[in-house]
């Protein structure tokens, strides 16, 4: 009997992201991913999610890349960095994490279902 495979993702709700890479870089990437027991999809989803979530390690990596490859002038990079720091300060000032923010919205929804 054939084993049915459970779908991990709803592909109807997804967009495909593609780009070109040097053949040698691609081979080296595949080797490193194999060493880490990751697929290309796992790796890029991880990077994408952490970039979107403004993970500090990823943002530092991106900032270094922008500086090295002159993707953004120093003044603009400084403004972006200040904006990120300000956002972190506000989050810290109010001591709210993502779960607490979600809980606030849940409470509002319970008390005001018409919203």
Collapse the DSSP code of 82 into the 3-class scheme (helix H, G, I; strand E, B; otherwise coil) and give the result: helix
User: 104: which 2 tokens?
Assistant: 């606030």
User: How does residue 30 score in pLDDT terms, banded at 50, 70 and 90?
Assistant: very high
Identify whether the C-beta of residue 26 lies closer than 8 Å to the C-beta of residue 18.
Answer: no
Identify whether the C-beta of residue 77 lies closer than 8 Å to the C-beta of residue 66.
Answer: yes
Choice between 10 and 41, residue whose per-residue pLDDT is larger? 41
Query: Any alpha helices (H) in the chain, and if so which ranges?
Result: 23-35, 40-52, 56-68, 74-93, 98-111
Confidence at residue 52, expressed as pLDDT on a 0 to 100 scale: 92
Say whether pLDDT at 106 is over 90.
no
Tens of pLDDT, residue by residue over 46-84, are 999 999 998 989 988 998 898 898 888 888 878 888 887
pTM here? 0.61
Please provide the size of the chain in residues. 115
Confidence at residue 23, expressed as pLDDT on a 0 to 100 scale: 97
Identify whether the C-beta of residue 28 lies closer than 8 Å to the C-beta of residue 35.
Answer: no
Confidence at residue 5, expressed as pLDDT on a 0 to 100 scale: 55
Identify whether the C-beta of residue 62 lies closer than 8 Å to the C-beta of residue 51.
Answer: yes
Say whether pLDDT at 11 is over 90.
no
């Amino acid at each position: 009997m054939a084993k049915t495979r459970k779908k991990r993702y709803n592909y109807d709700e997804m967009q495909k992201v593609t780009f070109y890479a040097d053949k040698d870089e691609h081979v080296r990437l595949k080797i490193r991913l194999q060493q880490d027991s990751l697929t290309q999809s796992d790796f890029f989803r991880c990077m994408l999610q952490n970039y979107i979530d403004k993970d500090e390690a990823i943002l530092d990596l991106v900032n270094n890349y922008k500086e090295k490859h002159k993707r953004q002038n120093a003044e603009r990079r400084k403004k972006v960095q200040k904006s990120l720091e300000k956002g972190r300060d506000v989050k810290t000032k109010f001591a709210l994490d993502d779960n607490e923010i979600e809980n606030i919205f849940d409470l509002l929804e319970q008390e005001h279902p018409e919203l």
